[in-house]
Structure 1
């Protein structure tokens, strides 16, 4: 049967939410039209602060870790729950055709962080409006620079754990190309560690008509790319296996000049530290050996940057979140293996020494999923042709994604902040 997303009854933390959802959808559309890169989220942060100013009781602090915003709402004795949303966009040229598409050339909210911000603002409004439905302290963390893996670290370095109530649990969510109403997560490792690797190969340039007097870094780079493809195959069998992708090659400017250098930009994703170190060691060995074999004028430069830690969900806290979201039905699903995408969200819980949970939720219109697509989801795979995050065509449904994000986050937070976790209604499962 085609998934549907009926409007659930309002109760507890969700009371009055439906009347406010059109506003949060408009906030999402506005954020989507005005994307900002890592550590440049000035307009986004100002929007967050402005919206929070209208929610009674929130203490708002801007400029944490650069452009981050932290808001605190105290409501009596109880646990301290951190709710995190990332804010930055990507250097992607949008191709969605949306009426509210990016107005900034070459930038796009291609990962859904605009949904995260709008949804957390909706959660903040509900918590302020329903103090009778919960107890404790809520801390909303609007984080910059997730896409480059530096925002969480910047906020921690700026003293976020010392300046604000320390968390008993940290919760995060991420929208994806699933039908609204579906949530996936798992205890333990839930998202890969990642390292970007920059390799610069040094040759000797010459005229294209005289390659015999050159050391061609383009040929060197081509050989390196092919040899790197063997790395995963030569490791001991692992599940899941590490992933190494060469995403960019930069060399030369015109066809009749052999350049001096070639640069490779690689993405490595691993699921344990031992494998990460092994792959990086093997990568360096292969690159250096190929450079020497081709007579490079000097040893290659190899360095990592934009690194992300392994995202690990606390087992007990994950079970608690899944229970609140309706696990056991079609709403909550446990991943068989970690996602190969990466996040810096886990740095907060690790630094605080408390449990943390990251879950992914659907932001697509359930009506777009026919019988074949539903069957693919039941098999644990995405339907063919699914437009993924980071695509220039990725576009969560404004109506479905924001509503799902607010309801799911309220449900997860409510499992700590309410005496009865069912007070915060999760979004309904697909029918």
Structure 2
């Protein structure tokens, strides 16, 4: 064996030949080390320079061909295995949140006001661990492993930016697996469900315009406060009565701005909110209903309206065939890990859906809930437990072995 390959395999724990039975102590130590280092140095969306450098260095040490600066701070590692075969992509996110950490952990954030409160540090640790498994077992595997470390997930921009930068232009995988820790599931379990599991995350702003005046003389005005009250009620009523109750969706208003004093009817009121849907036809219907609601309110009071609607990240839809394939891998290779296959859908957003519109794949949930702990993403006291790292590693290595074994 050439010296460079021997060193590479030793760096990737060459003694590890299975990733889904017992777990060697050195890989457990590696998972925890990476998780803690990344947790202590969080970076906000579009600012993940040091995180990207850390990830790139780890991949290069393993022997991956690494491309940096993909769609911002995105990192892509490619590792050809021994023997021709398909390309499998693993995707994780890198950015942190503007949250001041309150965990009290000895590896807590060293960047004031920034925290990995969504667990993206754990996602990177699990994917890097799975990459080490592939390198250590390359003689038993075929094809290519692609590792995608995506920036700016929290602001819904990273996946699209990487796609626009041509992340798949040279090498397009045949399957893509994204991961996310999930505190609604107990640590030590997995969540794998076919079909829609997250929603499109759209936002809108409506401007209602009228004629302002004295609060004692409303008949001389075109009252935008009255328009706004009617618009909100119209929208809620239409969304409730016209939308398909069998399809998950929600309309919420988050801001109403207008007026400067208790006795002045303002010239303008601004409404802002969000729409979450899992089907494109529901999204289109909701846009039509908002126009209908705002126009009716404006017409009633002699005013006008303008609706600005911004489509956000698409819904994540787990491919049924890929879901079945991976469920089979889990049953055969990690039967001791419980897999939840229903009740996982929610109306949160996750921009891995952009990748899944290009490549058949799934978003896999890895349980991170702990009894007596804070089990809420984006909370300043949330931490991902070590058991989650182990479960995610076992899941990813079983997927690698399932798709890429000779």
TM-score of the aligned structures, taking structure 2 as reference length:
0.83
Q: CA 1:337–1:23 in 2, change beyond 3 Å: closer, same or farther?
A: closer
Instruction: Give the Cα separation in 2 of the matches to 1:264 and 1:39.
Output: 28
Give the number of aligned pairs.
386
- The match for 1:310 is 315
- The match for 2:6 is none
Instruction: Give the Cα separation in 2 of the matches to 1:389 and 1:291.
Output: 39
- The correspondence of residues 21-170 of structure 1 with structure 2, limited to 5 A, is 21-55=28-62, 57-76=63-82, 77-163=84-170, 165-170=171-176
- The correspondence of residues 145-294 of structure 1 with structure 2, limited to 5 A, is 145-163=152-170, 165-177=171-183, 178-202=185-209, 217=224, 220-235=227-242, 237-251=244-258, 261-294=268-301
- The match for 2:352 is 345
Instruction: Give the Cα separation in 1 of the matches to 2:350 and 2:381.
Output: 21
Instruction: Give the Cα separation in 2 of the matches to 1:217 and 1:107.
Output: 40
- The match for 2:328 is 323
Indicate conservation of the 8 Å contact 2:316/2:356, yes or no. Answer: no
Q: Deviations over 1:130-164 (max 9, x none)?
A: 3234222000001112223222121111111113x
- The match for 1:407 is 394
Instruction: Give the Cα separation in 2 of the matches to 1:288 and 1:105.
Output: 46
Q: CA 1:236–1:154 in 2, change beyond 3 Å: closer, same or farther?
A: closer
Aligned to 2:172, the other structure's residue is in SS state: coil
Aligned to 2:75, the other structure's residue is in SS state: strand
Indicate conservation of the 8 Å contact 1:65/1:157, yes or no. Answer: yes
Aligned to 1:161, the other structure's residue is in SS state: coil
Rg: which structure is higher?
A: 2
Instruction: Give the Cα separation in 2 of the matches to 1:97 and 1:217.
Output: 49
Point out where structure 1 has 5 or more consecutive residues left out of the alignment: 1-9, 370-384, 420-431
Q: For residue 51 of structure 1, report the CA deviation from its aligned partner.
A: 1.9
Aligned to 1:191, the other structure's residue is in SS state: coil
Q: For residue 111 of structure 1, report the CA deviation from its aligned partner.
A: 2.1
Q: Deviations over 1:229-277 (max 9, x none)?
A: 3233212543233111223344567878766544433221112111111
Q: For residue 87 of structure 1, report the CA deviation from its aligned partner.
A: 1.4
Q: CA 1:266–1:78 in 2, change beyond 3 Å: closer, same or farther?
A: same
Q: CA 1:109–1:201 in 2, change beyond 3 Å: closer, same or farther?
A: farther
Instruction: Give the Cα separation in 2 of the matches to 1:229 and 1:341.
Output: 20
Indicate conservation of the 8 Å contact 1:192/1:271, yes or no. Answer: yes
- Aligned alpha-carbon RMSD (Å): 3.1
Q: For residue 361 of structure 1, report the CA deviation from its aligned partner.
A: 1.2
Point out where structure 2 has 5 or more consecutive residues left out of the alignment: 1-15
Aligned to 1:266, the other structure's residue is in SS state: strand
